[in-house]
Amino acid sequence: MHKLLKSILLLGILITCCWTAQPASATSLSGLKVMKEMAQDAVPYEVAIASQKPTILEFYADWCSVCQSMAPTMQTLEQQYGEDINFVMLNVDEAQWLPQMDQYDVTGVPQFTLLNEQQSLVKSLVGRIPQIILADEFEQLS
């Protein structure tokens, strides 16, 4: 029961932190499209965790405007580092990912959780992260 309450509280925090009442713009719609395409093509969580490559777990939500705005950046980085790093996308609105949200202490979206080759936590970054900072972190992982 404690985990259920924690999960409900976490989802409430995520909604509070990232909800936007602004109408969707053309940019956010294109970001949403890119994000959905990336999620569809992402490495499955189970495959990534079983591999010996570093992994990026992106915790996201379709409704999150920051997630949408980060999608083109993540797409560019995935094209650059995708051979050396697993890119995994986990939608926080899907209950199946609640154990991972708890395990990796998800506090907001987007959250980028970096795992080394042994799939041990290296670092987590939350929010709008500049591409140059993400690229530097990915370079250190690969």
CATH number at residue 11: 3.40.30.10
Number of structural domains found in the chain = 1
User: Which pLDDT belongs to residue 135?
Assistant: 97
Active site residue 18: no
DSSP, res 21: -
Per-residue pLDDT at 5 exceeds 80 = no
Q: Order across the sheet with 86-91: list the strands.
A: 86-91, 55-60, 111-115, 121-126
Active site residue 67: yes
Predicted TM-score of the model (pTM): 0.81
Domain that holds residue 111: 2-18+27-141
Count CB neighbours of 10 within 10 A.
18
Per-residue pLDDT at 125 exceeds 80 = yes
136 pLDDT tier (thresholds 50, 70, 90)? very high
Catalytic residue among 56, 61, 67, 90, which?
67
- Residue pair 72/32 in contact by the 8 Å Cβ criterion: no
* Maximal C-alpha separation, the chain: 43
CA–CA dist 137, 82 (Å, integer): 14
Q: What is the mean pLDDT of residues 35-49?
A: 96
Average predicted confidence (pLDDT) for the chain: 87
CA 124 to centroid of chain Cα atoms: 10
Which 3 state secondary structure label does DSSP give 54? coil
Q: What is the mean pLDDT of residues 110-136?
A: 97
DSSP, res 88: E
User: Which pLDDT belongs to residue 30?
Assistant: 86
Within 19-122, residue ranges assigned H as helices are: 26-41, 45-50, 65-81, 98-103
Catalytic residue among 64, 74, 77, 92, which?
64
